[in-house]
Amino acid sequence: MNNKERGSIYAGIDIGSITAKAALIKDNRLLATHVILTGYDPINAGIKVFEALLKKAKISKKDVPAIVSTGYGRASVSFADKALTEIICHGTGAYFINPEIRGIIDVGGQDSKAILLNAKGQVENFAMNDKCAAGTGRFLEVMAKALEVELNQLGDFGLNADKPLKISSICTVFAESEVISMIAGQQKRENIIAGIHDSAAARVAILANKIKIKKPVMMTGGVAKNKGMVAALEKRLGLTLIVKDFAQENGAIGAAVLASKL
């Protein structure tokens, strides 16, 4: 398939456990992105997010000669020309946004990843946590519910801690019990949340250290919007994380770039 004519538009669709993302690129620049909740039906989510993206860009499906899907629900996007792993798509997306990037930390809804890139943007090594919710968006979601805090408010709460508490349990279920005990003990919500962020960051840092991650490092995934989590990770790793506006859509952007190479 040769889709490299100037002016062609390419699409990437990333079906995650919590959100579905889609992106369009044209002439090697980002044209548009869109994000919706995945819900219980990943097939429908893929269709809806793509249709919404086309409407936003004011184009039709016939204007898009190639589509690549990624994410845990990538196989559900039946209209995609190819399905690729999150690892390669996140690597490609980060390199597309900033070719200087050598390390990527992606914290998604159900897994977290650390990726090492070479100077050409190719994946050299990676480590992934997909067997346990600890260190993922799901972990933070569970804790937010226990604390009766909106998920998008966790970051600000955590940054206002004066004495962060330690969450000793690795397992999400046991950690939740720990948090509930802290709430019963009338501990400050901000201090509990700071402890939650540090606990999650510790799990992700293990992945980054395992592959000997190199700077500059970009953080991708929806959790990159959480400033408290970003700060906790920076402290654990001893480096500054680069967070771009389209961090959540990074996998979809990478998929769109790869669609242009089909």
Name the fold adopted by 9-95+249-259.
Answer: Nucleotidyltransferase; domain 5 (3.30.420)
Q: How far apart are the first and last CA of the chain?
A: 6
Residue 5 is predicted with a pLDDT of: 58
Average pLDDT, the chain: 93
- Summarised one tens digit per residue, pLDDT across range 147-165 is 999 988 899 888 999 998 9
Class at the top of the CATH hierarchy for domain 101-243: alpha beta
Q: Rounded to 5 degrees, what angle do the CA atoms 138, 54, 5 make?
A: 110
Do 9-95+249-259 and 101-243 share a fold? yes
Residue 179 is predicted with a pLDDT of: 92
Asked whether 8 and 26 are in contact (CB, 8 A), the reply is yes
Residue 6 is predicted with a pLDDT of: 59
Residue 122 is predicted with a pLDDT of: 95
Q: What is the pTM of this model?
A: 0.92
Residue 32 is predicted with a pLDDT of: 97
SS3 245: coil
DSSP assignment string, 138-186: HHHHHHHHHHT--GGGHHHHHHT-SSPPP----SHHHHHHHHHHHHHTT
* Domain boundaries defined on the chain: 9-95+249-259, 101-243
Residue 1 is predicted with a pLDDT of: 45
- Is residue 171 pLDDT above 90, yes or no? no
Q: Which residue's entry shows tokens 């020309």?
A: 81
CA atoms within 13 A on the CB side of 124: 15
Residue 4 is predicted with a pLDDT of: 55
Q: Which of 59-68, 83-92, 127-136, 224-233 has the lowest mean pLDDT?
A: 127-136
Instruction: Dig out the tokens for 31 from the structure.
Output: 């044209």
